[in-house]
Structures are given as C-alpha cells and as structure tokens.
Amino acid sequence: MGKKTEKVKDEKGITAEKEDDFTDWFTQLMIKAELADYTDVSGCIVFRPASYAIWEKIKEECDIRFKKLGVKNAYFPLFIPEHVLVKEQEHIEGFSPEVAWVTHAGDTKLSERLAVRPTSETIMYESYSKWIRSWRDLPLKLNQWNNVVRWEFKHPVPFLRTREFLWNEGHTVYATKKEAESEKDQIIGIYKEVCEEFLALPSLIGKKSDKEKFAGAEYTISMEFYMPNGKCIQGPDFHHDGQNFAKAYNIKFLNKVGKEEYAYQNTWAITTRMLGVTFAIHSDKKGLILPPRIAVNKVVIVPIFFGDSKEKVLKKAKEVGNSLSELGAIVDEREEYSAGYKFNDWELKGIPLRIEIGPKDLEKDSVVLVRRDNGEKESVKIKDVKKKVEGLLEDIQTSLFKRADKLLRENILRVSSASELKKAIAGKKIAFAPLCRKRGCEDMIKFESVGGKVLNIPEEQPKELGKSKCVICGDKAEYFGYVGKSY
Amino acid sequence: MGKKTEKVKDEKGITAEKEDDFTDWFTQLMIKAELADYTDVSGCIVFRPASYAIWEKIKEECDIRFKKLGVKNAYFPLFIPEHVLVKEQEHIEGFSPEVAWVTHAGDTKLSERLAVRPTSETIMYESYSKWIRSWRDLPLKLNQWNNVVRWEFKHPVPFLRTREFLWNEGHTVYATKKEAESEKDQIIGIYKEVCEEFLALPSLIGKKSDKEKFAGAEYTISMEFYMPNGKCIQGPDFHHDGQNFAKAYNIKFLNKVGKEEYAYQNTWAITTRMLGVTFAIHSDKKGLILPPRIAVNKVVIVPIFFGDSKEKVLKKAKEVGNSLSELGAIVDEREEYSAGYKFNDWELKGIPLRIEIGPKDLEKDSVVLVRRDNGEKESVKIKDVKKKVEGLLEDIQTSLFKRADKLLRENILRVSSASELKKAIAGKKIAFAPLCRKRGCEDMIKFESVGGKVLNIPEEQPKELGKSKCVICGDKAEYFGYVGKSY
C-alpha cells in the first residue's frame, strides 16, 4: 500500500467499473468515499470516521447480544512474552511466521522478545489457569474488543486484509464438552443476525475442513461471503478447542465430586474485515451504498436554490430535517457547491436516501425522495414525509439483503466431477461438491480448480450424499462442501 | 510486577491498613476485589471485568459528550515508522526513551523499525497533512479510543502506572488560535463533569509549568488528584499545540482569501489511570467502594435462610430483585456460602447497597438496607424499597464526592517560605506556593521539598499575588502554584 492516495484523489468520482476491474473500483471507493486511507505503515490503514462509525455499530449490536449470554468484557496485554506464546504447538506453528516482535524498549534490548498479539489465547489462558480452581468458577465467559497484528506477506487490501485489524475475541471455558459446544449456535446465531439484519449480508455457514481449521482448534465453524469479483472471503468464526489449550496451559478444575478435570474451551471473533465485505457487495460505480440500519446519517436534504426563493426553501428544508433528526438527517446548506455537485457527493458517500426541495416542490407542499440503492424518485407530500422515509429505509434494507442473497445463490453450482468443478471455479462460481475426507484429495482441489479450496461444509447435507462420489478420487463421498477461490 | 498474585490470594479479606501501608492495601484490593491481575509481561496488567466495565462507562459518558461537540471517532495504526516519529524534535525527545520497537516480523528483519505508539500525533498528522487543503476542511475533530505503550522504567503500579494503558486521544485542528483555544473549556468541562458526577472525584485544575508540559505542546492544562498516601497524580489533560506540530508535519490550509496558513492544534486525553484513582480514593479496608453511578450492579440482595422459611424468603428476595432490575440488582442465592461470607464478599467487591431479607423481616413485610460507604443499616417496608434505594444511591454518590472533596481541601496548605513548603510536603500536604517563573527556582523545588514539584497553576489566582514573593528566591512572585509529590 503505497502512494496511491494522491493518484485517486485527483478525480472526484470513481472511474473504474466494479464488474471490469474490481480491485481498482474498490480502492477508489475506499479513498474517494473517505472510508480508509493508506499510511506509511505497510499493510495498515486509517479507519476514517465514515467506516469506523459502522464498526462501532457492529460492536454495539454484537456486544449487547454477548452480554445477554453472560459474557463479560475484559482487557489483556497487547504483548505476549515468547515463552508464553510457544506453549501450544499447532497454534504457534500457525502464527509464528506472521508475528511482529518487539525487541527493544528505548535503547535497551529486552531480555525476552515480546510478540504483538496475533490473537490472545496464550496470554489469556495463563490467567485462566490461575483463576479457575473449581466448578464454581465455571463457566468463565470473557471477551475483548481490541487490535491484533498479523504480518502477512500476501497482498494487503484495505479492510479485507490488513496487517493490523480490529475484532472481538471471545474466550469461554466450560466444565463439559456438551455445554461448550452448545455455545456454537448462540454465537454463530449472533453473528448471523448482525450480518443479515444490519449489514444485509447473507453467508454460507459450515464447518471448516481439518486442513483449514484454526490453529489449535478441534473444529472451526465459519461464515463465508461471496464477493463481486467471484472470490469468497471468510467472515466471523467460532472455534471449539476441546481440551487442547486446557492441556497446554494447565486449565484444570475440581468437579463436584472433587476430581480434577481439564476444561473445555471455545473462541470466536468478528473483525473489521466485515466493513470491506459490506462496502464491496452493496456499492456501485457512483460510490458507497450502505444498508440504512448501519448508516449514521440515513437521510440528506438538499435544498435547491433559485433566485429569491432561497430563504423559503432553506427554511422548509430545515423543518423537514428537524422532523427527521432521529434518522441523523443532514441539511446540506453549503453555498459554495451546486445541487448537482451535492447529489454526486452524497451518492459517493452512501447516504441511503436523498430529499430534494426546490421552489416548485414548495408550491405543491411536497418534496422529492431519491433512493440511493436503485435511484428511484418519488414526489411526496411534506405531511407524509416521515412515514414515507421510514418505509423506504426499511425497503432499502430488505432490498439490499435480497440482492446480495440472489447474487450468492445464483453463483453456487452443484458439481459432480473434477471437470465441472474446474469449470465452475474458472467461471467465478462457488462449487458445491461431493468429497471424501482424504487429505490428498483436499490438496488436489487447489490444483484441479486452479486455486480453489474447501470453504466450509454445511451441517445440513443433501440427501444425494449417500450415492455420491468424491469428485477427485471417485471413492464414496463423505460430505458435500463449498469450494471456491478465497481471499 | 511479579508473582504477588499467589501470595495475596491465600487470604480472602484485605490484611493491610490503607492508612499504614497504602501500597500493600492497594495491591491487595486490586487482586482480591478481582479488579486487575498481574501478567507475565512486566508492567502490564489484566483489566478484569470488574474494572473494565467501569472503563466502558467512562468511555460511554465521555464519548456522548465528545460527539455532541462534533468530534468523530477514527482508528489509526498501532505502529509508527521511525522516520515519521522523529519529525517533531521536542516530542521525540520526550518519548524516545520509552518507545517499544518492533524490529522483526516472523523471521524477517524489517527495513525500518516500527514504534508501538506511545501517542499518535505523529502518525495522525501525516494523514492530516494530506486531508487538509482548505478552510472548508476545518475544523477537523477526530478522536480515538485505543491502547498505547510507554515502556517506563519507574516502578509500575496497577492502573496508576502501567506500561500499556487505554485512553482516548482527541486530536483537533482549527483555522485560528482563538477557535482552537476555545475548545479548552469544552474538553476540560467534559472531563471535570465525568470525574465529578460519575467517579465522584474532585481535582485541581490548572496550567502545567513549562517544565512539566507535554512534549511538543505550547501549554498543558491538567487535572490533579490527591491520593490517600499524600501523593498527587495527574489525570485527564488538554494540550494546546499552537502551530508546533503543523509546522513539523506540514499541516497547511488555504484561507478564505486564498492565502496559505499553518493550522492550530489541540490534543486531549483521559486514561485507565482514572480507574486506579477512583478505587484508591473511595475504598477502605473491607474492600472496594464504588460510586453508584459507575457500578454495573448497584444492589445485591442476600436472602437469609433459617429452617423451613427458605423457600418463602428466596421468593421474596427474587421479587425485590426483579423490582430493582434496572439497577442491575443481583440476588445471591448461592447455597454453598453462609450469609456472613456473602456480606464480606460483596463488601470486598464494592456493591454500593446490600439488601438483607430474613424470616423476621418477612413477618414485618420489610427488608434491611445496608450502605457500603458507611455501613449504616435501616429497616424499610418492602413497598417503599425502590424509592428508598434510589434515594440512598444518590446519597452515597454525593457523600463519596463530599468526602473526597474534604480530603483534598483539608490537605492544601498555603505557604510563604521554603521551610513552610518543605514542612507541608513532608506532612503529605499539597503546598499552595507563590513562585517566580525562573527555571532555576522550579528546579530547586524538588530539592527544597524533598521530591515535590509544581503540579499546576490555577487560572484564578489569589489577590495576594501582587505582594507575594517567590518562596525559593524571594523575588516578586508571578503565580501561586500547587506543589506536591506526584506519581
């Protein structure tokens, strides 16, 4: 991420087509809609107010729901001493290539290197091991909203892959495997609700293959999203760790009959990546499109000035603005810009609904409403504005979800052979393919599909599974999985 | 911060006296009330749910007020490349001894060292310099709630001095000095309101001396708090930077007549240090005392079981609990602990009000209310409980502030000579002393008072200033300043 900012700032509107050059389009959208900016730190962005406010909304909606489950927020150190990080073998193997290391403080060399947390299992579980003594201390359900660093060497993309990102990390501990696993539907349910009801994003939910699961987990449940360029991207996830970390970090408790047992653990997360997914899926060449429920300012009112009617028009615009103050309505009274400039500006920035008020509208006691999502215009009597606006915002919210859902469903193809799989992936589709559990076959998918991988495996399986054959080896299929290219 | 946890966990209650051994008392309070814990990272603590929830409250109350001023939240990178950090001379001299440096990612040595932000002026102002072009872009008012690291080599104390801490950092930019400076009363007003109305903490507000101001600021306004051990501690502050950073980071704008000018800047912050100040000032040997407005659970109901009345008592306890659910009332129905154990436990953890319900209370249709702050008991008819509880919580809130205010005021001594100054500081007081502006005199204070320093200089000065003499050199005094020992 270098000096692109200057270049794309020269022109006001987005000059690339979403369909033809997604990367250029997405980059221009990020900069021109003032969602993000590049920095001098390679792979790290500024989350500007327009995007950060949406992250605050995601946090708020998730946090309320976590707290209803009895989860409490806490904060653990940013740094993890090397000897603590390396205790769980699979975990450290997964993360060590990406760890940023602090070696000096001022001019002093530290006696032990400190990792900047890539995730906090290791530092949190050191404390858990001290705090948990008896069944009375369980369940322990903690969460933190923080920043993590993974110094990946893949090409960074604003929001979608940044070396520092923001997230929640929930870390819960239970006395029994059954209790721990029952948290899965609660947490995935919360993430699904927030993604669908607020971000207007449908997803494919399922279990990761052993190859793709979280480093240290027994299994991982993921939500996968289909991006407009045909690539998939992993969103929120839930990991059941079994007793894996409990054994590495010595998290034991005395059960009700006085016997010592290892505890069962889960971890789960949603990240700022979801901002990028939301922006990418809904927006268009004019700029950002935001689901109304996450937009801070849901309405903009643009008064149209002609000759001596200016004062009257502005007065009415403010009246309408006041009546919609709960929706964060903005009245754009800037004098230095034309109405046309303002229309483009607010379309670029993604305000869901525009209200135009000119002298002719005033004569008819009406205003013109313009939807950001589909550009539809409608003249409405001023007395009906509030009700109409509320209805339209709901309708935009629903329409965006339906459109994204249609995009996802239309791009899933059931396949039954390696050649069909290859063709589907080459055509930017998600293949739904019968597979066996052999690691060799899963490895072959990347080759056969030219870069695809198993995204996840839905819990509900097609009834044809019994008579289906693995598309790679031809042996009896053991599951149907979603296969696609992925970020 | 080492292995103290184990030691103090052995006994349930606090064994040290606040008055005799403040450090031991404070450490025990942190661990036993489950507010913080030590970690394997030297100088860094876990903010456990009991303290983190109060930080969330502080954030929420400040954030609402910041947003009303038009401040927007954003997020800038954790890392600052070395060449960016060093641009402002005074600033880097102030911070470089405490910077934690990232030198490696995985096995790769980075081409340039990255500082873990000790504060974000330098990385933010690189962006500001790109974003600000014209008077139309001003004022720019951004804030972030994040973590910062200052690897100080002074003795760390939980909350009060930790190497990583959480804070807000507001960074605003204005076209004129007058506008910039007018923000001072707004921001200090917000911090004062949150400290007084929520944390029940009075403070001394004034300007830092040039010697003590923020590295890179034109001047600093600070809030100073008087701790029970006679030391003062700096809380929230506001820095007016003039054009200092604007010149170092090239933040210029075209004014309305088309002329290029440097902008004026402020920065301001409140940190997790305030948690420690709150806990230290209000609490006692029994444990934590929390102002009701920041307590998540303001009331605990302890049913007292005798023989066969248990079911009836528990039923009534739950009824009372439900009627107080808005106050986060807890009903402690644990069977494995006695009522006496529960009283101690909730006193240790700082629930502001306890309600006891036993069989005898039931007969009289009443309950017993016990205040955490002063232990006063009162029998109240069940029908009057809600109103009474609300009144008592307000009274506790007010009483705590009055008590802390009395402590502060009683410990300020007006002095007029070096020997009086020395005596005041030796007696753990704050001296209010007439001083000149010579740096040599300010340096001498540390010597004369055996470790004291100028805390700050109140805006409103005593009318005796004109005829007062500097307590160090005897020349004409130029201000009265608060002098004390300080964290």
Mutate to test the interface with A, among B35, B40, B271 (most CBs of A within 10 A): B40
Task: Spell out which residues of chain A touch residue B109, defining contact as CB-CB under 8 Å.
Answer: none
Cβ–Cβ pairs < 8 A, chains A and B = 157
Q: What is the mean pLDDT of residues B365-370?
A: 97
Token pair belonging to A254? 């005395």
Q: Is the pLDDT of residue B121 over 80?
A: yes
Tell me which residue in B47, B75, B80 faces A47 most closely, judged by beta carbons: B75
Asked if the Cβ–Cβ distance from B78 to A147 is below 8 Å, we say: yes
CB contact under 8 A, A127 and B39: yes
> Residue B74: its chain A contacts at CB < 8 A?
46-49, 52
What residues 152-211 of chain B have any CB closer than 8 A to a CB of chain A? 164, 166
Contacts of A41 in chain B (CB under 8 A): 77, 79-81, 114, 123
- Interface contact flag, B116 A78, Cβ < 8 Å: yes
Q: Is B48 on the interface with A (CB under 8 A)?
A: yes
Chain B residues touching residue A333 (CB < 8 angstroms)? none
Q: How far is A85 from chain B (nearest CA, A)?
A: 11
Instruction: State the Cα–Cα distance between residues B39 and A123, nearest whole angstrom.
Output: 8
Q: What is this structure's pTM? A: 0.95
B471 closest CA partner among B427, B451, B441 = B441
Residue ranges of B 106-125 with Cβ closer than 8 A to chain A: 106-107, 114, 116, 123
* B contact test, residue of A8, A41, A111 with most B CBs within 10 A: A41
- Both tokens assigned to A171: 């870390």
Query: CA of B299 to nearest chain A CA: how many angstroms apart?
Result: 18
Residues of B in contact with A55 (CB under 8 A): 75
Q: Does B445 touch chain A (CB under 8 A)?
A: no
pLDDT in tens, chain A (487 residues): 444 443 334 457 999 999 999 999 999 999 999 999 999 999 999 999 999 999 999 999 999 999 999 999 999 999 999 999 988 888 888 888 999 999 999 999 999 999 999 999 999 999 999 999 999 999 999 999 999 999 998 889 999 999 999 999 999 999 999 999 999 999 999 999 999 999 999 999 999 999 999 888 999 999 999 999 999 999 999 999 999 999 999 999 999 999 999 999 999 999 999 999 999 999 999 999 999 999 999 999 999 988 888 999 999 999 999 999 999 999 999 988 999 999 999 999 999 999 999 999 999 999 999 999 999 999 999 999 999 999 999 999 999 999 999 999 999 999 999 999 999 999 999 999 999 999 999 999 988 877 899 999 999 999 999 999 999 999 999 999 999 999 9
pLDDT tens by residue, B31-86: 999 999 999 999 999 999 999 999 999 999 999 999 999 999 999 999 999 999 98
Band of the pLDDT at B447, cuts 50, 70, 90?
Answer: confident
pLDDT at residue number A87 = 84
- Residue from the list B102, B130, B142 with its beta carbon closest to the beta carbon of A101: B102
pLDDT reported for residue A132? 98
- Chain B: residue nearest A71 by CA? B49
Task: Choose the closest CB to A73 out of B41, B49, B107.
Answer: B49
A103 near B CB under 8 A: yes
Q: Do B53 and A73 touch (CB under 8 A)?
A: yes
B16 in A contact zone (CB under 8 Å): no
Q: Please give the average per-residue pLDDT across B240-259, as a whole number.
A: 96
Rounded to a whole number of angstroms, the distance from the CA of B434 to the nearest CA of chain A is 37
Cβ contact, residue pair A77, B46, below 8 Å:
yes
Mutate to test the interface with B, among A9, A40, A117 (most CBs of B within 10 A): A40
The alpha-carbon gap from A46 to the nearest alpha carbon of chain B, in Å, equals 5
Q: Is residue A56 less than 8 Å (CB to CB) from chain B?
A: yes
> What pLDDT, on a 0 to 100 scale, did the predictor assign at position A10?
43
Q: Quote the CA–CA distance of A5 and A243 in Å, as a whole number.
A: 47
**Tens of pLDDT, residues B377-388:** 999 999 999 999
Q: Could you say which of B52, B77, B103 has the minimum Cβ distance to residue A41?
A: B77
- Which chain A residues are Cβ-neighbours of B135 within 8 angstroms? none
- Collect all residues of chain A within an 8 Å Cβ-Cβ radius of residue B80: 41
- The alpha-carbon gap from B296 to the nearest alpha carbon of chain A, in Å, equals 11
Strands B79-81 and B108-116: antiparallel
User: Are B72 and A53 in contact (CB < 8 Å)?
Assistant: yes
| Local confidence band at B11 (pLDDT 50, 70, 90 cut-offs) | low
Instruction: Please name the helix (run of DSSP H) or strand (run of DSSP E) that holds residue A387, with its range, or none.
Output: helix A385-410
Nearest CB partner across the interface for A103, out of B76, B104, B149? B104
User: Which of A46, A127, A130 should be substituted to probe chain B, the one whose Cβ sees the most B Cβ atoms within 10 Å?
Assistant: A46
Cβ contact, residue pair A84, B40, below 8 Å: yes
Q: Do A151 and B106 touch (CB under 8 A)?
A: yes
Place of tokens 């804030």: B143
Pairing of the two strands A353-357 and A299-303 = parallel
Predicted ipTM of the assembly: 0.95
CA dihedral in degrees (B401, B406, B409, B410; nearest 10)?
-160
Instruction: Write down the pLDDT at residue A428.
Output: 96
In B, minimum Cα distance to A256 occurs at B336
Q: Decide if B104 and A106 are in contact by the 8 Å CB cutoff.
A: no
B3 has pLDDT over 60: no
B80 in contact with A at a CB cutoff of 8 Å?
yes
Give pLDDT, residue B9. 41
List of chain A residues whose C-beta atoms are within 8 Å of the C-beta of residue B99: 105-106
**What does the pLDDT read at residue A11?**
55
Contact residues, chain A, for B147 at CB < 8 Å: 78, 146-147
Q: Among A77, A407, A474, A350, which Cα is nearest to A229's?
A: A407
B49–A contact, CB cutoff 8 A: yes
Identify all chain A residues contacting B76, using CB atoms and an 8 Å cutoff. Answer: 39, 46-47
- How close B124 comes to chain A (CA, Å)? 9
- Interface residue of A30, A75, A92 to substitute, partner B, most B CBs within 10 Å: A75
User: Given the DSSP bridges, would you call strands B353-357 and B299-303 parallel, antiparallel or unpaired?
Assistant: parallel
Q: Residue B12 pLDDT more than 90?
A: no
A87 interfaces chain B, CB cutoff of 8 Å: no
Categorize the per-residue pLDDT at B2 as very low, low, confident or very high, splitting at 50, 70 and 90.
very low
Task: Kindly determine whether residue A105 and residue B98, on different chains, have CB atoms separated by under 8 Å.
Answer: yes
Of A74, A100, A114, the CB nearest to B49: A74
Q: Which residues of A touch B126 (CB under 8 A)?
A: 39-40
Residue B137 forms contact with A (CB below 8 Å) = no
* Interatomic CA distance for residues A182 and A175, integer angstroms: 12
**How much of chain B exceeds pLDDT 90, in percent?**
91
